[in-house]
Structure 1
Amino acid sequence: MIANMSESELERLSRMWKEHMRAPFPPRMRGREIEGEDMVLLDSYIAGGVVSSLSGPLDGKRREILLVCLAAIEKVLPSIDDDDGASEYYKHLRDMAALAVELGNANAR
């Protein structure tokens, strides 16, 4: 286990990641920009940060990317309806990114 990380938080992030990997990407979000944010790239950047967080402490660059992504996802969420689960998909991404940052903050203490 990574020093200073609560095992339960790390397990929670791991469970959330597994859930995310089983969820299909919302097809209507492919190639779509909302509020100037590329929805595929947003998914990709958060996924990279989460995987990094599961592998060890986040470096400053990955932590900053996740923080930028959190701000972006908060900006776009109100514009996403949930007819096909897209809103829930991106809320789940947001929650994973927030937990990964939180784990990184705990590790930095």
Structure 2
Amino acid sequence: MNSTSGNDELESAVSHLWQEHLQTPFPAGLRGAEREGIDLVLLDADTAGCVSAWLSGGGSLDDWRRRVLHRRITDFDRILPMLGATDDAPYWQRLYRLSCLVARADPRPAE
């Protein structure tokens, strides 16, 4: 393996989870729903936008998207423990995992 194998493995993991995410519909009944004051459609859209940008940008995010991603990770930390049986927790856990993997790839702090 070459010296970028860690990055290659990370990008592969993100790509795999991303494809899984793209094949999964948004949870039924959650359009317009909020948990802990967080709009779930916006949480999904913001996170997905950052992951997509990271993948298409060669594994990096601009400063604005990095800040958005870190804010959304904080939002996930708040809502994941509160999800109920009808909230499709695996959907949100996968999106959270994606956001954490992308954030780990760029260790710069969110400003």
3-state DSSP of counterpart to 2:29: helix
Counterpart amino acid of residue 104 in structure 1: D
Displacement of 1:82? 3.4
In the alignment, the residues of structure 2 paired with residue 81 and residue 64 of structure 1 have an alpha-carbon distance, to the nearest angstrom, of: 28
Displacement of 1:5? 6.6
Fraction of identical pairs, as percent: 33
Cα RMSD (Å): 1.9
In the alignment, the residues of structure 2 paired with residue 87 and residue 96 of structure 1 have an alpha-carbon distance, to the nearest angstrom, of: 14
Displacement of 1:96? 0.2
Q: Which has the higher contact order (CA 8 A, sep 6+)?
A: 1
From the two aligned structures, give the one with the greater helix fraction. 1
CA contact (8 A) 1:50 1:96 kept: yes
| Runs of 4+, deviation exceeding 6 Å | none
Structure 1, gaps ≥5 residues long: none
Counterpart of 2:76? 73
In the alignment, the residues of structure 2 paired with residue 82 and residue 42 of structure 1 have an alpha-carbon distance, to the nearest angstrom, of: 19
Displacement of 1:104? 2.0
Displacement of 1:27? 1.2
In the alignment, the residues of structure 2 paired with residue 70 and residue 37 of structure 1 have an alpha-carbon distance, to the nearest angstrom, of: 12
In the alignment, the residues of structure 1 paired with residue 52 and residue 34 of structure 2 have an alpha-carbon distance, to the nearest angstrom, of: 24
Displacement of 1:83? 4.1
Counterpart of 1:98? 100
User: Aligned residue pairs: how many?
Assistant: 103
Question: So what's the TM-score if we normalise by structure 2?
Answer: 0.85
Counterpart of 1:46? 47
Question: So what's the TM-score if we normalise by structure 1?
Answer: 0.86
Structure 2, gaps ≥5 residues long: none
In the alignment, the residues of structure 1 paired with residue 31 and residue 18 of structure 2 have an alpha-carbon distance, to the nearest angstrom, of: 20
Displacement of 1:13? 0.3
Counterpart of 2:25? 24
In the alignment, the residues of structure 1 paired with residue 35 and residue 84 of structure 2 have an alpha-carbon distance, to the nearest angstrom, of: 12
